Amino acid sequence: MADKLPDMTLKAIGFVRNEVKQPMREGWEKVVSEIVVDNSLTEALEGLEEFSHIMVLYWMHHVAASAQLPPKVHPMGRQELPLVGLFATRSPNRPNPLGKATVRLLERQGNILKVEGLDAIDGTPVVDIKPYIPGYDSAADTKIAPWVINQ
């Protein structure tokens, strides 16, 4: 495939700042974080505060890069759950360690966004921020796999 590929190098647009220094699987709902966006992009955030929720794309930099990624994992690392394809889970061990969170935007102060529920540790590079628009981003009549827990 390589001959067709454009250059796909990400630039950090900012970083997460919070009290969580180590990855954790659960308990993110009430974590308040700041997303400190690069000063040069402050103007590009204008109007984001008109939305109650935003989506944050981030790079899970704590995940060890591995040439040999296991194709199947136990969801949430729980051995009692079946081994399933990594793309059928939210495991951070994926070919591109991109995380995507939908979070409440509490406030914007210039280049700093205060959000609730972002499941990313302190220092995580942020690569994109998008407004959450239910008509595009939510789905009705959904079915989820039986192994999904905590939801």
Residue 25: both structure tokens together: 């699987």
- Would you count residue 110 as binding its own copies (CB under 8 A)? no
Residue 19: both structure tokens together: 């009290």
Q: Least distance (Å) from its own copies to the CB of residue 34?
A: 15
Q: What angle (nearest 5°) sits at the alpha carbon of residue 102, between those of residues 10 and 123? A: 50
DSSP assignment of 14-31, as one string?
A: EEEESS--S--SS--TT-
Residues 111-150 that bind its own copies (CB under 8 A): 123, 125, 127-139, 141-148, 150
Residues 7-66 that bind its own copies (CB under 8 A): 8-13, 15, 38, 41, 43-48, 50-53, 55, 57, 59, 61
Instruction: Give the three-class secondary structure for 119.
Output: coil
- Would you count residue 95 as binding its own copies (CB under 8 A)? yes
Residues 64-93 that bind its own copies (CB under 8 A): 69, 71-72, 82, 84-90
